[in-house]
């Protein structure tokens, strides 16, 4: 079975110290101002957080085994202090670096990966559209190839890390034709920031993740060289399904961090909040809820790190894609729903204070809901799990 090594736990402490020192004291202000802390990105790069799954030749850690588990530990610890910073790392690696690392040509990897790993730049992944969310096959963005150039027209929605002052490139999925059976041919194309016809729309007004960068994107006769195709033409659908499988484990880690933060906040509050002359934690109505939080956190963490371990085992050639896909869906479904429940319980324990922005559980509550939606909704996870069980489709 799997277990975290001493090196993993030492790495966890390093990231926790960074999060508590560099993020914790400022996040209330960043959240209030909807400020993206761009200066943190190179600091995370210096810690090696963007390079856990990247070979040394591109500036990464070059870990032979366990790299994805290291990444999940970093995401959990950042997410424990703030979800916005956690998703910046999660998307920066899972949606920015991983597609280039997995499907890019040697030239594309050398052009983009070193700066992405160092935190000098960020990359985005444009999949979702206004009318194509869970139904990603309904993609309307189109790309036509002529005279050695792809001309892209369409729009994308809810794209993380797409409009920062560090964003260097966004990989977008687009219809590039039709397959032999008449289905849309979906390909992935890399579009550098600043390309003519590529417009980053104003930042969204979001319920949560206020310190994360999220924009809509528009492409109007946006031309890029033919060699900006990422991977094989027509393989975009398979590519983003694989990308989402890995990303679901990362979102699970982010959810574990949030649930852990709720457990710690609720436990401390139950010990110190005095009502009727004694700490509220002596009341079973409160202590049982805190106990439930502890169970949620433990279960979510075990499912998440089992999935991360299976991902590392798959990368080493010892586990199948199907095992990783099923474990990722199970971990994401349970962990994200546990995180949403945990924020509700923690807010209830805080009572009226839980409704006040001075207390972090208010931010936790706002940040939680998107976890059940991004990287595949809870409903999609149930479909994936059912399919993995062999149930009729």
The verdict on 242 and 355 lying in the same domain is yes
Helix (H) or strand (E) holding 116: helix 106-118
Task: Give the pairing of strands 122-126 and 198-200.
Answer: unpaired
Mean pLDDT of 319-330: 97
pLDDT tens per residue, range 227-244: 999 999 999 988 988 888
Helix (H) or strand (E) holding 215: strand 214-225
The verdict on 107 and 217 lying in the same domain is no
pLDDT of residue 4: 85
Nearest to 174 by CA among 115, 217, 120, 114: 217
Position 1 in a domain: no
Buried b (16+ CB within 10 A) or exposed e, 192-224: ebebeebebeebbeeebbbbbbbbbbbbeebbb
Q: Bigger pLDDT: 132 or 343?
A: 343
pLDDT tens per residue, range 24-48: 999 999 999 999 999 999 999 999 9
375 is catalytic: yes
**Contacts of 44 by beta carbon, 8 Å cutoff, 6+ apart:** 18, 50, 89, 119
Q: Residues 10, 64, 375, 379: which is the catalytic one?
A: 375
62-76, 101-115, 274-288, 349-363: the lowest-pLDDT one: 62-76
The verdict on 26 and 155 lying in the same domain is no
Mean pLDDT of 195-213: 98
Q: How many domains does the chain have?
A: 3
pLDDT band at residue 2, thresholds of 50, 70 and 90? low
pLDDT of residue 18: 98
DSSP state of 200: E
The verdict on 223 and 362 lying in the same domain is no
The verdict on 278 and 345 lying in the same domain is yes
pLDDT of residue 346: 98
43-57, 231-245, 376-390: the lowest-pLDDT one: 231-245
Quick one: tokens of 65? 């085994």
Mean pLDDT of 350-358: 97
pLDDT of residue 239: 92
The verdict on 118 and 129 lying in the same domain is no
Residue 284 CA to residue 346 CA, distance in Å, equals 15
For the cut 60, the answer to whether the pLDDT of residue 1 exceeds it is no
Residue 375 CA to residue 390 CA, distance in Å, equals 23
Mean pLDDT of 354-363: 97
CATH number for the domain spanning 207: value is: 2.40.110.10
């Amino acid at each position: 079975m799997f277990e975290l090594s001493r090196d993993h736990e030492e790495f966890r402490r390093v990231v926790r110290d960074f999060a508590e020192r560099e993020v914790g004291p400022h996040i209330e202000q960043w959240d209030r101002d909807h400020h993206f802390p761009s200066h943190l990105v190179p600091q995370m790069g210096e810690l090696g957080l963007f390079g856990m799954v990247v070979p040394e030749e591109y500036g990464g850690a070059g870990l032979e085994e366990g790299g994805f588990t290291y990444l999940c530990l970093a995401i959990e610890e950042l997410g424990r202090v703030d979800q916005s910073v956690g998703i910046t790392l999660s998307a920066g690696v899972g949606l920015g670096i991983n597609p280039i690392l997995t499907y890019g040509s040697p030239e594309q990897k050398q052009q983009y990966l070193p700066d992405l790993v160092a935190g000098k730049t960020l990359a985005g992944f444009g999949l979702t559209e206004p009318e194509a969310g869970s139904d990603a096959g309904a993609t309307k963005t189109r790309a036509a190839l002529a005279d050695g150039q792809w001309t892209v027209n369409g729009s994308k929605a809810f794209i993380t890390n797409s409009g920062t002052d560090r964003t260097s490139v966004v990989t977008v999925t687009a219809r590039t034709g039709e397959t032999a059976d008449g289905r849309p041919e979906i390909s992935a194309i890399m579009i550098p920031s600043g390309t003519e016809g590529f417009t980053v729309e104003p930042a969204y007004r979001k319920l949560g993740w206020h310190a994360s960068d999220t924009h809509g994107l528009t492409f109007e006769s946006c031309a890029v060289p033919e060699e900006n195709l990422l991977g094989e033409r027509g393989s975009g659908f398979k590519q983003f399904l694989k990308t989402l499988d890995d990303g679901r484990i990362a979102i699970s880690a982010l959810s574990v961090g949030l649930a852990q933060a709720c457990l710690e906040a609720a436990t401390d509050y139950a010990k110190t909040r005095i009502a009727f002359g004694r700490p509220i934690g002596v009341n079973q109505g409160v202590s049982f809820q805190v106990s439930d939080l502890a169970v949620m956190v433990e279960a979510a963490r075990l499912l998440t790190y089992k999935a991360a371990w299976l991902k590392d085992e798959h990368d080493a050639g010892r586990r199948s894609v199907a095992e990783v896909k099923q474990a990722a869906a199970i971990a994401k479904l349970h962990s994200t729903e546990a995180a949403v429940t945990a924020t509700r319980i923690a807010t209830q324990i805080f009572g009226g204070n839980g409704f006040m922005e001075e207390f972090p559980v208010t931010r936790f509550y706002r940040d939680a809901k998107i976890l059940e939606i991004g990287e595949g909704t809870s409903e999609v996870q149930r479909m994936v799990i059912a399919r993995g069980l062999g149930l009729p489709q």
